[in-house]
Amino acid sequence: MDLLHFEDFPVGEIADYGAADVTVEAIKDFAREFDPQVFHLDDAAARATMTGGLIASGWHVAAMLMRMSCDHFLNRSTCQGAPGIEEISWVKPVRPGDRLGVRRTTLSARPSKSRPEIGLVEFQFEVINQSDEVVMAQRGTILFKRRAASSEAKR
Amino acid sequence: MDLLHFEDFPVGEIADYGAADVTVEAIKDFAREFDPQVFHLDDAAARATMTGGLIASGWHVAAMLMRMSCDHFLNRSTCQGAPGIEEISWVKPVRPGDRLGVRRTTLSARPSKSRPEIGLVEFQFEVINQSDEVVMAQRGTILFKRRAASSEAKR
């Protein structure tokens, strides 16, 4: 299998992928374990809050984005992890019945100074619902092996 | 119950809380659902990667931080949600057997311009392991009701 390397993420490229259905059960399961606030757990009580009904935890949406990214490209890549996230914006609520997808834009790409076999790719990820609304935006950097470096290593 | 309001988070305050034990099962459960990369799923295979063994997904660590924050203060507060996160840094790997806690520092606090009944509090969260090492740092803003505004509403 030919894995995706640093060179396979040209700056400016836009990729659309993923289709994750948001269910009441998944929202509550995540919330019970990681974010037990009332607007993620109890629909009736949530209606009395500023959310106007049950919404998914923002961390659940971030985790769903990660899963869609693994399925679409990370798990067929030379991903070497991620140092961090530069920004997350929770723009709109995610509710039961929503179907989420991802728009990924490659913002920048550069070889690592300290580890020349590695390259850093900065992505903008937008999670988009069935009404084409951005519900979450995230900017972060992922490390990949460089193809040239891999070829040299094989010699 | 007297809920925590905007005024209860003075700038400069440091709070230490939480004790979350990281297990192999929890690492793999999270990874199977949200981040199925080999270094989160398979200990033997992970040893052959740059991680040198099984490590928790960074999103799992973020979710564990959220749970500790809910248990310690958010679920006894007037939390009105969070617009986003300004930065996440995954500084060190989190491994099975680690015990995680949180150090929360209040960086800034200001009333909302558009919604005077609300205040914005900016926190630095550091997740710290049993060796006093910071494994994840996160900076973000949380919205709370202002106490003055609540008193006025009750009149």
| Residue-wise DSSP of A68-96 | HHHHHTGGGBTB----EEEEEEE-S---T
Q: Is the pLDDT of residue A10 over 90?
A: yes
What value does the mean pLDDT take over residues A120-133? 98
Q: d(Cα B41, Cα A48) in Å, to the nearest integer?
A: 40
pLDDT tens, chain B, 155 aa long: 699 999 999 999 999 999 999 999 999 999 999 999 999 999 998 898 888 899 999 999 999 999 999 999 999 999 999 999 999 999 999 999 999 999 999 999 999 999 999 999 999 999 999 999 999 999 999 999 999 765 555 44
Q: What are phi and psi of A54, to 5 degrees?
A: -60, 130
Q: d(Cα B28, Cα B24) in Å, to the nearest integer?
A: 6
Q: What is the pLDDT of residue A155?
A: 44
Q: What is the ipTM of this complex?
A: 0.93
* Region for B41 from its dihedrals, namely left if φ exceeds 0, alpha if ψ lies in -120 to 50, beta otherwise: alpha
CA distances from A26 to A31, A64, A138 (A): 8, 11, 22
Among partner residues A50, A57, A67, which is closest to B35 by beta-carbon distance?
Answer: A67
Q: Find residues 89-128 of chain A whose CB sits inside 8 Å of chain B.
A: 89-90
Among partner residues A35, A63, A81, which is closest to B70 by beta-carbon distance?
Answer: A35
CATH of B6-154, one of 3.40.50.300, 3.10.129.10, 3.40.720.10, 3.20.20.70: 3.10.129.10
Q: Is the pLDDT of residue A151 over 80?
A: no
Q: What is the pLDDT of residue A49?
A: 82
Q: Is the pLDDT of residue A118 over 50?
A: yes
Q: Is the pLDDT of residue A154 over 90?
A: no
Bridge partners, residue B143, by sequence: B120
End-to-end CA distance of chain B: 19
pTM, two decimals, is: 0.94
DSSP secondary-structure letter at A75? Answer: G
Q: d(Cα A37, Cα B18) in Å, to the nearest integer?
A: 17
